[in-house]
Structure 1
Amino acid sequence: MSCVTTQDRAVAINPTRSCAPIGAMLANYGIHGAITINHGSQGCATYPRHQMARHFREPVEVASTSLTEKTTVYGGKNNLLSALKNIWERFNPTMIMVCSTCLSETIGDDIPGIIDEFKDNNPEITIPILSVKTPSYIGNHATGFDNFLKEIANNLPDRRKKKGETNGKINIIPGWVNPGDIRELKHIVREMALHAIWLTDYSETLDGGYYEPRPHFARGGTTIEELQSSSKSIATIALQRHIGGDAAHIYERRHNVPAHILPMPIGLENTDAFVDTLTEITDHTVPEILQVERARLLDALVDTHMFTSGLRVALFGDPDILEGLTSLVVEMGMTPAYILTASESKPWAEHMVEVTQELGVESEIIIKSDLHELHKRIKAKPVDLLIGHSKGKFIADAEKIPLVRVGFPVEDRFGYHRRSIVGYNGAISLVDEITNIVFERRATGVVSNTLLELGVEGPSTMPLLIPNGNGNGKH
């Protein structure tokens, strides 16, 4: 049976988490023409910009109120009022989002009150100005993203004027994913002849093209008008339970838009759940192209099972991506030996115990933890594969274990933000990558669907064949 553990240390060593403001900043980048003001010191804006730029390879613009020792003592009200005025006059944005920091929350600045004062003094400025609470001593980057979505759901949608009035669209909350993932989700929705409002969509704003002249704002993103009409959608689908699930329930409670909370659509079963939900909501049938993609994924799982079955895997990252990855690796015949996250969510851990039991595997689910703790576990009982973001490279290098890079941040490889791991196509790509890494690291080649062990020879200088999960023994 799976068990739940946590680390005893208070200090984090090689943490898997980022700060809360970066989550709100990323989500805000999915709204066309929106600008973020980080109400804190300059470093509180520089660090998230640095992390996002290294992952997405795009310039990231975030304003800062640049709090100093003086404003820490006397408050940052004047700095924020000036920042709001400057941003409006210089950029003329469609929306301004003010995210708090550890500093501004600790000194007690009333950010909503300061915004109200700014609006009263500048009645000609009618764009939405939102305040999002993102102190990093409460939660992490996923918390910041989720808090932003809740502010959107509470403040931007119009009230339905008539009972039953709809726009015929579906609100889809992808959660923390890559631009390539959003494009794959759009492909699924488009092939089903459906229309969606994406909360939010940074598939172009953080993976755009080179245009001359440079546009005033990056192309793409969900418009304010779409967000305002999202209260008239026929349903809301949150594709991550912990990022967007609460926002979906807000739409259901405030606007009578039914909420569907799904696991992240990684792998066959989870993607089926997404497609089936779309058919249930709309009565649309699954088109042939999606049926073909599903069949191709099944074929990939069958073709690779003899190479991946029985491998022990360590997974680390955010709760939602871990739930999806767990399902996929089990579909590949692997065992998720360790599943580690920085989140403190005990309900998620209990849910993962249920998930692993349903999948028929035993895992150690480690919450509120870091990669140093994972490294200790792997030293004591090694695994064959690591799956997570770039910070796992220290374990991979030290223990000579291959690392499959997914999630955020991936900063030591190029173009991973354009890849997709969701949907049938994303799963096929991930299955291929995992299997090819097994080939590269564990074998000199493949003969008759059997891996040849690296550096091992039999009695007659013939390579020793290792068990491969299809019933073959050693020869």
Structure 2
Amino acid sequence: MAINPTRSCAPIGAMLANYGIHGAITINHGSQGCATYPRHQMARHFREPVEVATTSLTEKTTVYGGRGNLLTALKNIWERFHPTMIMVCSTCLSETIGDDIPGIIDEFKENNPDITIPIISVKTPSYIGTHTTGFDNFLTELANSMPERRKKKGETNGKINIIPGWVNPGDIRELKHIVREMGLHGLWLTDYSETLDGGYYEPRPHFARGGTTVEDLRSSSKSLATIALQRHIGGEAARVYERRHNVPAHILPMPIGLANTDAFVETLTEITDHTIPEALQVERARLLDALVDTHMFTTGLRVALYGDPDLIEGLTGLVAEMGMTPAYILTAAENRPWAERMVELTQELGVESEIIIKGDLHELHKRIKAKPVDLIIGHSKGKFISDAEKIPLVRVGFPVEDRFGYHRRSVVGYNGAISLVDEITNVVFERKATAVVSNTLLEIGVEGHTSIPFAYTNGNGKH
């Protein structure tokens, strides 16, 4: 049982990742609601139309199987849209009744030899894992099925496979900025920075602009290396590239904050021998300056963090760099390796934290009631705790439904960290009802007036 859970269902993760491939379409093999709920969540967060097909399983297909519905759906999608790729994701229902989705896809290919586009299946029953599980399973299946074998040893495309993980379009754009400044070329697995944050075009294109092409996916086996920027979303896919195609794998923490972004930039230099350009050095120095300028306001504050494991690991590093204590760190995932890593990380950072796995926001609320915090960081569902306890909420993660444009923001890289430092510090100012005059923190009076001890000098030099 979960009360106000922090997670979503597994299929939404595969659907989101598939949106990062140009011209790809998802077929959700389940009931209509299993497609409607993820579309609803994604549309409210990204503010874009989200198209997902469904096999619309009913009571009859639950008893007799959904083979016919899936074959019809595959035919309809091809004839109506002519996509570049089709991804079929399973659901609780189709997994429980035992439909052999890969076998049904093979039957469709045999009966339609003229349809040569890739059709992959991803296992995403919602009773196993969370939305991050679905995203990770998609990436692993992609790494196993899409890349072509190198025709000759040492053949390379000169690019670096970069797996951003579950991030926002603004985050992908910031990561692209870093790679460009390094003078490198990234092959993004996957890239929905435009497909889920696009422009208004007349006439409307057949498929949303942007996204990684199928041709790029085919050539990803020839890349110089693979960098997974989240350990638990894409880490296994990076290892698949290393095992199957001898593409070196680098699995890093999400590049939030100074140390984690440094790790990403330094990895790029190790792979290519490129030097760090002045532009990135300036951005790093600006982040350091922001941390110094704000430390007197943030040091010692207690923070509650919740959300996806990789996001929370990155945020923990940043709040520690700001001098704050991550008092509660909660994720819905039942991920013991992550929890053990977080114990090590908090010990390295010298902070005392309560780390909660497979938790919900009801559990977090109970702890905050018993021992309050100064700040909450997480997605929109934490607003109920924020409102009840009068504790400010800094919105980060998925979904953010009660604010506009947050999907365009970045929390990664030096620039993303600067924005987060600014937002957190401004929330602290508002929380303490303070004014800053000449770098002096002044408490606001009861009636909204500031009581300021002051001195003056008259013309005779008397005070």
Fold conserved between structures, TM > 0.5 = yes
Partner of 1:339: 329
Match of 2:395 among 390, 398, 405: 405
SS in 2 for 1:430: helix
Deviations 1:138-185 (A, max 9, x none): 001000000000010000000011111111100000000000000000
Whether 1:203 aligns to 2:197 is: no
Match of 1:94 among 70, 84, 91: 84
Deviations 1:189-234 (A, max 9, x none): 0011100100000000000000000000000000000000000001
- Which AA in structure 1 matches 2:183? A
Contact map agreement 1:306 1:449 (CA 8 A) in 2: no
Partner of 2:56: 66
Aligned CA-pair RMSD: 1.2
Contact map agreement 2:30 2:54 (CA 8 A) in 1: yes
* Alpha-carbon distance in 2 for matches of 1:451, 1:122: 72
- Alpha-carbon deviation of 1:454? 4.4
**Matched length:** 452
- Which AA in structure 1 matches 2:118? P
Whether 1:235 aligns to 2:225 is: yes
Mean Cα deviation higher: 43-52 or 431-440: 431-440
Partner of 1:38: 28
* Alpha-carbon distance in 1 for matches of 2:19, 2:358: 28
Whether 1:264 aligns to 2:261 is: no
SS in 1 for 2:404: coil
- Which AA in structure 1 matches 2:208? A
Partner of 1:391: 381
Q: TM-score, normalised by structure 1?
A: 0.94
* Alpha-carbon distance in 2 for matches of 1:94, 1:234: 26
Partner of 1:420: 410
Partner of 1:328: 318
- Which AA in structure 2 matches 1:171? N
Q: Which runs of 4+ in 1 moved over 2 A?
A: 447-457, 461-465
Partner of 1:316: 306
What residue ranges of structure 1 are gaps of 5+ in the alignment?
A: 1-10, 466-475
Contact map agreement 2:442 2:450 (CA 8 A) in 1: no
Contact map agreement 1:38 1:65 (CA 8 A) in 2: yes
Note the 1:283-298 alignment, pairs <5 A. 283-298=273-288
Match of 1:429 among 382, 397, 419: 419
SS in 1 for 2:135: helix
Partner of 1:157: 147
Match of 2:207 among 182, 205, 217: 217
SS in 2 for 1:220: coil
Whether 1:14 aligns to 2:4 is: yes
Match of 2:292 among 287, 297, 302: 302
Contact map agreement 1:443 1:451 (CA 8 A) in 2: no
Contact map agreement 2:444 2:450 (CA 8 A) in 1: no
Contact map agreement 1:231 1:255 (CA 8 A) in 2: yes
* Alpha-carbon distance in 2 for matches of 1:396, 1:22: 26
Note the 1:54-203 alignment, pairs <5 A. 54-203=44-193
Q: TM-score, normalised by structure 2?
A: 0.96
Identity of aligned residues (%): 88
SS in 2 for 1:280: helix
* Alpha-carbon distance in 1 for matches of 2:157, 2:83: 26
SS in 2 for 1:328: helix
Match of 1:280 among 257, 266, 270: 270
Contact map agreement 2:4 2:381 (CA 8 A) in 1: yes
SS in 2 for 1:237: strand
- Alpha-carbon deviation of 1:441? 1.8
What residue ranges of structure 2 are gaps of 5+ in the alignment?
A: 454-463
* Alpha-carbon distance in 1 for matches of 2:126, 2:138: 14
Partner of 1:358: 348
- Which AA in structure 2 matches 1:318? D
* Alpha-carbon distance in 1 for matches of 2:452, 2:309: 40
Taking a change above 3 Å as real, the CA distance of residues 166 and 462 of structure 1, as seen in their structure-2 partners, is: closer
Deviations 1:337-361 (A, max 9, x none): 0000001011110000000000110
Whether 1:27 aligns to 2:17 is: yes
Deviations 1:347-392 (A, max 9, x none): 1100000000001101000000000000000000000000000000
